[in-house]
Every structure is written in structure tokens, then in C-alpha cells.
Chains A and B, each alone.
Chain A
Amino acid sequence: MSIENNVLVKLNNVGLKQNQKWLVQGVSLQVEKGKIVTLIGPNGSGKSTTAKIALGFYKNIEGNVEKYTSNIGYVPQKISIDWTLPLRVNDLMLLTENLSDEVINESLTLTGVKHLKDKSLANLSGGEFQRVLLARAISKKPDLLVLDEPVQGVDFTGEIELYELIKELSLKLNCGILLISHDLHTVMSATDHVVCLNGHVCCCGSPSEVAKNSEYKALFGEQASQTLAIYEHKHDHVHTTDGEIKKK
């Protein structure tokens, strides 16, 4: 970890080109200890690619990534367990790390799914599965958590609960979180910094004020506004269908 400013990972003007096409270009962001950074953007805008660049998946990137920790917990976007592989929650917990029973119980309790420990993964609901994946990612007390759409396949109440849980975890573990949200306009209110992507950084900023938005409260209720916030933003450009950027 860099000593002076708690930075865990820093992307400096990074880009990735595959088959003569830029997946993302010119992205700069940094995640610090105890801070939550949320990436939003439409499908195919390069959110997952950006997260994977931060994780060090690609070798031939433009720009550079400064990484100050190797203790990383990851929740991938899509994880499908094949029926040919019988797997219980407990087996998944032990996937990348040899953890003691105590640590496993502790992590599963934190995400509220300890009762599922000996259940087969095939029998879990979407929300239960996401909680198990989250428990697995936090079990080794990572410095950096990378969560790729952790609330996918979860209904709205479940979504609020999961976001609350993530907020709680970030406080408890004091780790940095890079969160990818599939939603364009709602982000966790605990987010410190929002980056809106569409092949490049369209805009970025803090969502802190918007939780007070009265329309939003009326729509989703008091409790939701403590967890979710509308990220109001306008862009000064549009993306045409052939990938060009046009100024408004």
C-alpha cells in the first residue's frame, strides 16, 4: 500500500483494444482504503472490463495500473455452477483459500447465510447465492473488494438489504470497494465516488446530495433513500450507433 494516501489501486489513463476495437479508453480512477467507488454505465460500456483491468487480467493494456495490494476479494459478474460439479456452500468458501471453520462461520454470519453452510449451491435462490459469493470474497479479510453487479437477480427489497450489507462490510473491514452497478441512475448512497462509463469516462462525481431528493424519497420510501441514491447527471455529448462521440 502506498503509505502517504491509502491508495489500493490506481488506473492511469488506461485503455484496452481487442480485435481493432477499443473496449474502454482513457479511464483514470483510484480506490482508497475505506472508500467505495461505483462504476455505472449501459451494457457493453466497459464496466467489467475496467474492473478486470484493475484486477490485472489483461497484459496488453494502454496506460498503467498501480496496484498496492495483492489481497483482493472478487465477486464476478456471472458465475454458473455446472451440475456436473457437486458443490456445497462450504466447498465454495474454501475455493481459493484454506480457511478455518471459524472464519467461514464468521463470514457467513456477517452476510446472514450461515444456515446454508452445508446446502448444495444448486438449491440456493439468487439472493442467497449473491450473499454466499459476498461471504466468500470477504472471508480472507481483503484490502480491496471488487464487486461486479453484486445485486443482480435480486428483487428491490433484497437489493436494498444487500447494499446495506456492503456498506456495513466496508466499515467493518475498512477495505476499499470497487462496485459495478447495472443501474444507470441508482447507486449506493454510501458511495464516495461515482464513475459513469461508456467506452470512456463520461462523467464522475459524488452522489452525496441526491439522497435528500424529495421525489426520490416519495418514490422509494425513507429507508431506501438511506441506502440508495439517485445519481443525477447530464452529459455534454452523445454516443452514435457507430461508436462515434458527438458534442451536443
Chain B
Amino acid sequence: MLDDFFIRALVAGIGIAFVAGPLGCFVVWRRLSYFGDTLAHSALLGVTIAYSLEFNIAVSIFLISSVIALILIQLQRKTNLPSDALLGLLAHSSLAVGLVVIGFLTFIRFDIMGLLFGDILAVNKKDLFIIWFGGALILITLKIIWKPLFASTVNYELAEAEGLNPDRAKAVFTVLLAAIIAISIKLVGVLLITGMLIIPTAMARNLSDNPQKMVIFSIIGGLLSVIIGLFSSLEFNTPSGPSIIAAALVLFIFSLLKVKQTIQLKN
């Protein structure tokens, strides 16, 4: 069954949606969209390093993204630049360096469009293993740090005063973010991974009144986006990443109708 490229892409996408839902909620709650973007852009550098050193792509992206996150933390401490400027600096420079390195690696043929926007044909059986095994690890880790991470998202001082160690939870969460980017790059592409994290979550926010519901709805939203997106990618021969994100956008627009209804009910 997994011999069919479309089934493989579908299984991969479903695995990613399960992980992107809960992580995406924290990205939105903690206002980390642009941070996620920066990590994702740096992933391209990870890909080129993987190719030139004949290294596993997912592991390479994971390492590079983690390094970028560490550099960011150091820059935030040692410079007087605001965070968004530092994020922009790292995002664009790592994307640029990645593309420059690709230019040098003339002996390897790169599908740049595939790297940037995802490729439905690119997912092989090994990737499926990485996505589902890595995804399960990410979810288990998130479950373990859920309490301190969530408490410090609501109020950092409260979490610290009551002995929950929010700094450790934050560091672990950054690593998880790097990990999901590493496992989803083939299907969604460098430029659109953050969309996969935040658009289904934004939809879920419109439909939920408590955090648990929001997590569940964002998983459902992600699953629907993947399924609808991949089928239309197959049908219209469009790149997989943009198709999935476009499907997520449509779902988000539908969820706005619900918001409008509740506002009318309140009035």
C-alpha cells in the first residue's frame, strides 16, 4: 500500500498534522510565529549541508535549526537590537546562505521549488518512519512539559513561583519546534511550514472556548487541510505545500462565519 506515492504523502501529512496541532497552539499562544519562520528558513541551510556531507536531511535540519535558536538567544542577550530585527536578520541571512551554498554545489541537482514549497513525490518510506517515530517522540515530550509550558504561557512568574521551572520547558519547546520543521520540510517546504503550524490553530481559536478544545480543533483542521490539500495537489498538479496551506486558509475563512454568528448572538 505504501508503494503508492500519493498514499505515502497522505500518511506523512496525517502524521505531521497530529504533531502540528498542539505545537501550533503554543506557537500562537506564545507569539512565536515569526520565530518558527526563522527556524524554517534556516532549514534550507540544513538541507544543503545534508546533501554535501551525505547526511540524513531530517537530522541535519534539526541540528541547524537548534543552532540557529541558540544563536538567537545569545544575540538577544548580547545586542541591543529588538527581537523581531534579530529574527529577520537570522531568517533572511540563513535562507540566503543556504541558497548561495546551493549555487556552489553544482554537482548535485536540487529541486529548489520542491525544497521551498514541498514535493508530493519526495516522501519515501524512510521519511514516513522519521515522521511517525519522530512525531510520536515530539508529542510524548510535549505531554511531559505541558504543565510548566502552559502555566508559563499564561503567566511566567506564577509558574516560577510555584516551582515549575518554565525556562527548561521553554528550551525543550524550542527543540520540539526545530524537530517538527525537520520532519515536515519534504511535504510542506521551507517557506510554508509556519503556515501549517498557525493557520489550523487560528481556525481552531475561532471555534473554541478552552485550551483543550483548541488543541483538538487545530489537529482536526490540520488533518482536513492535509487531506483536501493533497487531493487537490494530485488533481491540479500543484505543489503540495501551497495546496495544503490554501486548504487551511479556506477552513479558516469558514471558521470566521462561526465567529460572526456568536457575535450576532451576543448582540
Q: Which residues of A contact B (CB under 8 A)?
A: 52, 55, 57, 70, 72-74, 76, 79, 81-82, 84-88, 90-92, 95-97, 120, 146
Q: Which residues of B contact A85 (CB under 8 A)?
A: 29, 153-154, 211
What total count of A-B pairs have CB within 8 Å?
63
A84 B28 Cβ-Cβ under 8 A: yes
| Contact assessment for B155 and A76 in the assembled complex, using a CB-CB cutoff below 8 Å | yes
Which B residues lie within 8 Å of A96 (CB)?
147, 151, 158-159, 162, 164
Q: Interface size (B, Cβ < 8 Å)? A: 24
Q: Which of A86, A92, A120 has its CB near the most chain B CB atoms (within 10 A)? A: A86
Determine the distance from Cα of A82 to Cα of B150 in the docked complex, in whole angstroms: 13
Chain A residues, Cβ within 8 Å of B214: 86
Residues on B with C-beta less than 8 A from A87 are 154, 210-211
Q: Is the CB of B153 within 8 A of A79?
A: no
**B238: Cβ under 8 A from any A Cβ:** no
Picked from A52, A55, A72, A91, the residue with its CB within 8 Å of the CB of B211 is A91
Q: Is the interface of B mostly helix, strand, loop or mixed?
A: helix
Contact B157 A86 (CB under 8 A): no
Q: Indicate if B209 sits at the interface (CB-CB under 8 A).
A: yes
Known contacts A87-B210, A95-B154; A74 and B205 CB within 8 A of each other: no
Asked whether B163 is an interface residue with its Cβ less than 8 Å from the other chain, the reply is yes
Closest CB-CB distance, A145 to chain B, in whole Å? 11
Interchain residue pairs with CB less than 8 A apart (27): A52-B157, A55-B161, A57-B157, A57-B161, A72-B161, A73-B162, A74-B161, A76-B155, A76-B157, A76-B161, A79-B158, A82-B29, A84-B29, A85-B29, A85-B153, A85-B154, A85-B211, A86-B210, A86-B213, A88-B209, A90-B210, A91-B211, A95-B150, A96-B151, A96-B158, A96-B164, A97-B162
Contact B160 A57 (CB under 8 A): yes
Closest to A81 in B: B154
Q: Are A86 and B163 in contact (CB under 8 A)?
A: no
Q: B153 near A72 (CB under 8 angstroms)?
A: no
Give a binary string over B90-107; 1 marks a CB under 8 Å from any A CB, 0 the rest. 000000000000000000
Q: Is the Cβ of A86 less than 8 Å from the Cβ of B211?
A: yes
* Assembled-state Cα–Cα distance A73/B160 (Å): 11
Residues in B with CB closer than 8 Å to A146 are: 161
List the B side residues contacting A84 at CB < 8 Å.
28-29, 31, 205
Residue contact A88 to B158, C-beta cutoff 8 Å: no
Question: Bound complex: CA of A73 vs CA of B162, how far in Å?
Answer: 7
> Within residues 193 to 208 of chain B, which ones have a CB less than 8 A from any CB in chain A?
205, 208
Are B163 and A70 interface neighbours, CB within 8 A? yes
Residue of A nearest to B202 (CB): A84
